[in-house]
A = this chain, B = another copy of it.
């Protein structure tokens, strides 16, 4: 076998080039091929017009990882891109897992040269980029929860929402909705309303850093009846979150009590 290429999993942030890190751009620049979900590949195509790009449709995550491993094993340096951070609801986990499995399944143990070196480059996930747009909702302890039940039992999602509510975490919700899950955000709000005031300050940001970005600050009671889509990230304040000068700001611990 020949020398394998490097496999770099790159979080490209919310989408705009200026929200990428220098490290992320350099990893793409230095790669022989950029691989990703086609929407993300399209986001970087203008930046690297001459670069080979490969993509697969949505939900074909395992296929996309196999493609990346195959290219790296053939000696190419691969930049495997994800939106936001590749380590938060991204592909870094599955790729590490499948690369390890690939190496263990080879007939003979791989030499150091043949092994695929996987490197993970962090990016700005929607929790951070969305929070910046709203103000400072995550300034203190917070919990990040996805409402997607494609791979997580709904009972566990609800247990986490309840626990985060009771322990007064600020909460960020990813994947708040889809065609099949139109009422999941309302249900999540109902669970949080068991322990949190209906006046709790909340916020939503849609299409962060992309064309047509919108945001809104509202109460938990209002959020319960909002229709949001899969491009929206939802922020639910804790008992110390305030609306200050049109922003959503969580005060830090004792500061809140001094008011």
Q: Which residues of A contact B (CB under 8 A)?
A: 11, 13, 16-23, 25-26, 85-90, 92-94, 96-97, 99-100, 103, 118, 120-125, 128-129, 131-133, 135-146, 151-153, 156-157, 159-160, 162-164, 166-169, 244-245, 247, 249-255
Contact = CB atoms under 8 A, between A and B. Distances in A.
Given A93-B252, A122-B131, A164 B143 contact: yes
A92 B144 contact: no
Given A97-B251, A244-B97, A128 B125 contact: yes
Given A16-B23, A22-B22, A128-B128, 17 more contacts: A11-B132, A18-B21, A19-B23, A87-B136, A88-B138, A89-B139, A92-B132, A92-B135, A92-B139, A96-B249, A122-B124, A122-B132, A123-B124, A141-B143, A152-B252, A163-B167, A163-B169
A257 to B, nearest CB: 9
B18 A22 contact: yes
Contacts of A164: 143, 163, 167
Q: What is the oligomeric copy number?
A: 2
A254 B160 contact: no
Contact of A103 (B103, B129, B166, B245): B245
A139 B166 CA distance: 23
Contacts of A252: 93-94, 151-152
Given A128-B123, A153-B253, A245-B103, A140 B21 contact: no
A226 B88 CA distance: 27
Given A21-B13, A22-B19, A96 B160 contact: no
Given A139-B89, A160-B141, A21 B124 contact: yes
Contacts of A135: 92-93, 96, 120
